[in-house]
């Protein structure tokens, strides 16, 4: 896996849905980035989601926002465009997607059965490596089955 080096420009993030919520941007956020409350936690403040740094994902930023500004977030049930974190590996439609640890922030990768984690939603499109595609936003905790 090779991480993308820059977040792509996504012109129209929201494909459908009206569950939009406003938060404060705790960092610069780009349209299409998955956002979450930072691990240190600040009331109603979101950051680009990065595995191991932020908490459970809340949704996808509909528009870009500067740090401290209001950011509109597409939440549960919305369909939005997101960016694949990996340059080479695609994501198949129908798979759960999770937040990636890519330094770019706000990117997704496919859920693999290695650990319990938070899913962002379900891929509705085949998303090519370094590409963008639609997901149904369904944040949830996915527990690895005990063996």
Q: State pLDDT tens for residues 46-56.
A: 999 999 888 99
Bridge partners of residue 37, in order along the sequence: 46
- Tell me: pLDDT of 41 over 70: yes
The pLDDT of 9-20, averaged and rounded, is 98
Closest CA to 124 of 6, 15, 39, 28: 15
- Tell me: pLDDT of 134 over 80: yes
First to last CA, the chain: 27
pTM: 0.95
- Sequence-ordered list of residues with C-beta below 8 angstroms from that of 111, at least 6 positions apart, any chain: 95, 96, 97, 98, 117, 119, 142
Please report, for residues 26, 36, 47, 80, 125, the alpha-carbon distance to residue 134 in angstroms, rounded to integers and kept in the order given.
25, 18, 21, 5, 6
Question: Is residue 99 classed as helix, strand or coil in its secondary structure?
Answer: strand
State both tokens at 135: 């997901």
């Amino acid at each position: 896996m090779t991480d993308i080096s820059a977040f792509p420009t996504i012109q129209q993030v929201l494909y459908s849905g009206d569950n939009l919520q406003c938060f404060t941007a705790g960092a610069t956020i780009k349209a299409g980035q998955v956002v979450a409350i930072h691990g240190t936690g600040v009331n109603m403040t979101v950051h680009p989601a990065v595995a191991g740094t932020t908490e459970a994902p809340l949704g996808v930023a509909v528009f870009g926002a500067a740090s401290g500004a209001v950011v509109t977030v597409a939440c549960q049930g919305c369909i939005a465009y997101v960016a694949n974190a990996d340059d080479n590996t695609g994501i198949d439609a129908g798979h759960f997607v999770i937040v990636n640890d890519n330094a770019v922030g706000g990117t997704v990768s496919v859920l693999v059965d290695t650990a319990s984690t938070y899913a962002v939603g379900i891929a509705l499109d085949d998303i090519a490596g370094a590409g963008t595609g639609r997901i149904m936003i369904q944040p949830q905790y996915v527990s690895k089955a005990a063996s």
